[in-house]
Structure 1
Amino acid sequence: TMLSFFVIVVGGLLTYLGYMGEASGKSHSLLGLSFLMGAICSGLAGFIGMKVATKANVRTTNAAQNSLGEALSIAFSGGAVMGLGVVGLGKIGREVIQHCRSFNMNIMGYDPYVSQDMFNEDEVQVVDLDTLTTVSDYITLHVPLIDSTKNLFDYDRLCQMKDTARIINVARGGIINESDLAKALNEDKIGGAAIDVFTSEPIGVDNPLVKAKNIVLTPHLGASTEEAKEGVSRAVCAQVRDYLLHEKLTNAVNMPISDLAKLKEIQPSLELSEIMGKLQSQLESGAINKIHVECAGSMDEPKTATLAFLKGMLSTRIPDRVNYINAETLAVDLGIKIEHSYTSDCSSYTNLIRTKVTGENGTNQINGSVFEGKRLRLVNILGYEMDITPRGTMLFTRNKDVPGVIGKVGSALGAAHINIGAYLLSRDSDNGEAFAVIRVDNEVPEDILSALADMPEIVSIQQIHC
């Protein structure tokens, strides 16, 4: 496509215009990038520009000593890329896939929250991370930096790559362990890397990547263009003008409804909805297929509550910044069916928000209510009646309804110096099981969780963060 061709040309121009420093003959460089694609396409442009630079084996030199023709020749030399691995199949990841299809690449994708059903199997294969790592010629990262993605590519995983493969990170610093990457490059474990984001920015001269072999480094400038800066400045001025002259709120990312009085009234319910979205996201570790949000009683804004719920649910699943404006679109892009409704049936509560999430592992339900004094409460978790304030770190535990369980769990946590702030129990006489929410003062290490899960009375246990 014309867009793909334009981005590639931009990538080629970088090899002519982007050099910094004096000629040294070393195979590392600090480049100043300025993509002419605007902020919305920065991830896509960043990937393709970096791909061209790593394929061309860019070397530090003086741009004045190179002709544009020579630079373009370097950029487009070499064989065709056969395998592309895209880690993170959110908006930017899918944009990369869409445009790289024009180059007849063999494209694989990995995302724990996305299934093959979202893609044509002849065009994109959704695989596990190990397969993607070992097969790809290029790996590009488009995931947020969260606990599960921090140091996702460490030395062991980098060594699983082909020794000719290259890795590109224009997402977030910390997804690749920088010391491990430098070691892998210097030992020729991989063919090259291109990095636009770092654990600490601006990158320091003592960063091990600065002296690593076969690497292109750029100072997080994927969206820092004159056009983007001018566009943002104009938009801000226009929005301030509209509000001062006409009290009009344009493109407000945190204003789901225009009635400010109504918004203030339901704000606690929106906070509760967002929290329940975060909880539901953690309960379903795989792809989510459908969500349903039902409001009842005095909370009569199901659409707005749904947007808040999606905002919370997607916040740790995709690299995009999620807000009330884009939450629904992002969810639809992930193949999530969205339903919301209102009912007068609020049980014994003055207001109630019921949420259901259906995913690979079944359907989970969490209900919440705002009590008098704007106190947020979870009143039903996974079918068990509860009354708990959603805050901090909690353990959701299913256990056999037999004597001694509370004592054994409490003793195990106490022995690990983990203080219990609350232990709330709900029983189900039909299946002989009990459900407990245990609030703890600090995060429970994995080995302690495994020890608890191995207790014969424990059916399941999961650590949840509000």
Structure 2
Amino acid sequence: MKILVTDPISNSGIKLLQNSGFELIYETNLEKNDILKFIESIDAWIVRSGTQVTKELINKAQNLRVIGRAGVGVDNIDIITSTSKGVVVMNTPDGNTISAAEHTIAMICSLSRNIHFSHIDLVKGNWNRHTFLGVELRDKILGIIGLGRIGLEVAHRATSFGMKVIGYDPYVNEKILKEKNITAVELDQLTKESDFVSLHVPLIESTKYLFDYDRFKMMKKTSRIINVARGGLLNETDLAKALNSNIIAGAAIDVFENEPIKKNNPLLNAKNILLTPHLGASTLEAKEGVSISICKQVVNYLKNEEMGNAINMPLADMGVLKRISTYIKLAETIGSIQRQLSSGAVKAIYVDCYGSIEESKTILLSFIRGLLNDIVDGGVNFINANFIAKERGIKTSHSYKNKEIPFSNLIMTKVETDTETVTLSGCVYGKNLYRIVDIMGFELDMKPEGNMLFMQNKDVPGVIGKVGSILGENKVNIGEYLLSRTSKNDIAYAVVKLDCKLESHIIESLQNLDEILKIHQLKL
């Protein structure tokens, strides 16, 4: 069997592959056409962030069984095509944690004492020691947005400087944070009170441009912002404007919306800024760790079908996997919907399976992946799902029940947060079709896809007309309007499928209708 490596990994990783008994093809910096020369005969493929593992390449690799990503992010790998072709995708979610946390602290220290500016000035022949007046970190407030592994490691290190740590992460149990001397606050409060703000969240639709000019204006004039997480979390043009207008005191940025950055990037000419070229994971230890880990995982899979840190495969039995693959997709989809419907920190998850789907543990793991994957730095896979839930103080429960149901199969889920309980159920029709059949006790038949509004409203005449009028006035086309009522006949639940995402002022207009009780905008 052959293993192709197309991005640089450590010598220890290469040696491990060479001693595995498999044929090693180690070719880096290849263009797409060069990769095509090797792809047809390989059984495994190891990459970092440089290689784009596209649908075309995966389809050409007829013998490919596993793709290993030496690192966390898998944005450069086509997961959907990999899964459809039966190719396992693995990553190494823990390998970069310490390096990223330490780089964050290094950026904070450099900003607070003007180390980079004073160095540049000194090598020019100047001695302006009084120009570069810094600030102590002791007693300063560090606001951490995103309290996964990296965020918590940053908090741990910051407390050793005597900093007060406040944090925003709506998906972490507040009790867990208290045990780590972190005060949970809302995002606006964190923005206004922090002396340093550090970002540690994944880039998803809800975090895109989380910090824009309006939010920068909410910060103290003496505050500084650090981003070692993902490019696109802050608007770079707005950040440059905020710095040049003295809205905030400084920024340290390691990741960018487009990498490598172009010469006309506004941050290059901004005041009081420290830039590094995506060095968060660039340490000998991190490179060594992720290289050895992914090489071991790939070799163990080829030899024993062990799925360490599998992103897309929960079972070693491929026959079972193929049989329940649609149920897995349904469970992940329900998890994603639950995440967008639920407010507050998740305290407990319950998953019950009925009918022809008996693998309740696998369904639970798939549900957790859908619920938490977009909000956890490093992502959730079928190996770490239970651990991540436990780490965040989430109680989990799953069961198979043989009670009679009006469907051939059913996945029932319940999420309890510190403010509410949300229930959602779905079932599979045929081989590849699935539907949501119950939301909060309201029965309906809904294919979950695209842009949607989930609404609870008073069950009175005229609601559909008022909603339709507001959407029509804003030139928003309705694809489908699904309505469910209960026997009590006082509240109705509606799912409205739309052709586009609604702007905030349209949502506000809908919320202002007396008949609307709750409204959520979702995207799948």
TM range (shorter): 0.7 to 0.9
Q: Which moved more, 1:268-277 or 1:233-242?
A: 233-242
The amino acid that maps onto 1:124 is I
Structure 2 CA distance, aligned partners of 1:369 and 1:49?
50
Structure 1 CA distance, aligned partners of 2:375 and 2:386?
14
Structure 2 CA distance, aligned partners of 1:393 and 1:207?
32
1:240 positional shift: 4.1
Q: Does 1:391 align with 2:449?
A: yes
Structure 2 CA distance, aligned partners of 1:248 and 1:461?
44
- 2:99 counterpart residue number: 42
**Structure 2: runs of 5+ lacking an equivalent:** 1-93
Contact 1:412 1:452 in 2 (8 A): yes
- 2:508 counterpart residue number: 450
Structure 1 CA distance, aligned partners of 2:250 and 2:122?
25
Q: 1:167 is paired with a residue of what secondary structure? A: strand
**Structure 1: runs of 5+ lacking an equivalent:** 1-36
Q: Does 1:54 align with 2:122?
A: no
Contact 2:226 2:251 in 1 (8 A): yes
Q: Does 1:281 align with 2:352?
A: no
Q: 5 Å matches for 1:226-245?
A: 226-245=284-303
Structure 1 CA distance, aligned partners of 2:376 and 2:296?
30
Contact 1:91 1:333 in 2 (8 A): no
- 1:91 counterpart residue number: 149
- 1:11 counterpart residue number: none
Query: Given the two structures, how large is their TM-score scaled by the length of structure 2?
Result: 0.74
Q: Does 1:295 align with 2:350?
A: no
Q: Does 1:197 align with 2:251?
A: no
Q: Which moved more, 1:274-283 or 1:340-349?
A: 340-349
Per the alignment, do residues 130 and 378 of structure 1 end up closer, same or farther by CA in structure 2, a change over 3 Å counting? closer
Per the alignment, do residues 295 and 47 of structure 1 end up closer, same or farther by CA in structure 2, a change over 3 Å counting? same
- 1:314 counterpart residue number: 372
The amino acid that maps onto 2:185 is V
Q: 5 Å matches for 1:204-215?
A: 204-215=262-273
> 1:93-133 CA distances to partner (integer Å, 9 max, x unpaired)?
11111222222221111223335322337922212233323
Q: 1:282 is paired with a residue of what secondary structure? A: helix
The amino acid that maps onto 1:47 is T
The amino acid that maps onto 1:428 is T
Match of 1:79 among 136, 151, 163: 136
Match of 1:345 among 388, 403, 424: 403
Contact 2:453 2:521 in 1 (8 A): yes
Q: Which moved more, 1:43-52 or 1:410-419?
A: 410-419
Structure 2 CA distance, aligned partners of 1:261 and 1:243?
17
1:330 positional shift: 1.7
1:270 positional shift: 0.6
Structure 2 CA distance, aligned partners of 1:270 and 1:281?
17
State the superposition RMSD in angstroms: 2.8
- 2:203 counterpart residue number: 145
Structure 1 CA distance, aligned partners of 2:210 and 2:318?
43
- 2:312 counterpart residue number: 254
The amino acid that maps onto 2:413 is T
- 2:434 counterpart residue number: 376
> 1:30-60 CA distances to partner (integer Å, 9 max, x unpaired)?
xxxxxxx962313211211111221231127
Q: 1:149 is paired with a residue of what secondary structure? A: coil
Structure 2 CA distance, aligned partners of 1:160 and 1:450?
22
Per the alignment, do residues 230 and 109 of structure 1 end up closer, same or farther by CA in structure 2, a change over 3 Å counting? closer
> 1:273-326 CA distances to partner (integer Å, 9 max, x unpaired)?
000001001111221111101111111111111111111111232333222122
Per the alignment, do residues 60 and 178 of structure 1 end up closer, same or farther by CA in structure 2, a change over 3 Å counting? farther
Per the alignment, do residues 413 and 289 of structure 1 end up closer, same or farther by CA in structure 2, a change over 3 Å counting? same
Structure 1 CA distance, aligned partners of 2:182 and 2:149?
15
Per the alignment, do residues 374 and 334 of structure 1 end up closer, same or farther by CA in structure 2, a change over 3 Å counting? same
The amino acid that maps onto 1:81 is R
Q: Does 1:364 align with 2:439?
A: no
Contact 2:411 2:425 in 1 (8 A): yes
Per the alignment, do residues 454 and 77 of structure 1 end up closer, same or farther by CA in structure 2, a change over 3 Å counting? closer
What is the aligned-residue identity percentage? 48
Per the alignment, do residues 451 and 192 of structure 1 end up closer, same or farther by CA in structure 2, a change over 3 Å counting? closer
> 1:139-182 CA distances to partner (integer Å, 9 max, x unpaired)?
21112223332322223332333333222110112222222222
Q: 1:59 is paired with a residue of what secondary structure? A: helix
Q: Which moved more, 1:196-205 or 1:97-106?
A: 97-106
1:192 positional shift: 1.9
Q: 1:86 is paired with a residue of what secondary structure? A: strand
- 1:428 counterpart residue number: 486
Per the alignment, do residues 322 and 449 of structure 1 end up closer, same or farther by CA in structure 2, a change over 3 Å counting? same
Query: Given the two structures, how large is their TM-score scaled by the length of structure 1?
Result: 0.83
Structure 1 CA distance, aligned partners of 2:103 and 2:133?
17
Q: Does 1:116 align with 2:174?
A: yes
- 2:237 counterpart residue number: 179
Match of 1:404 among 430, 449, 462: 462
Q: 1:325 is paired with a residue of what secondary structure? A: coil
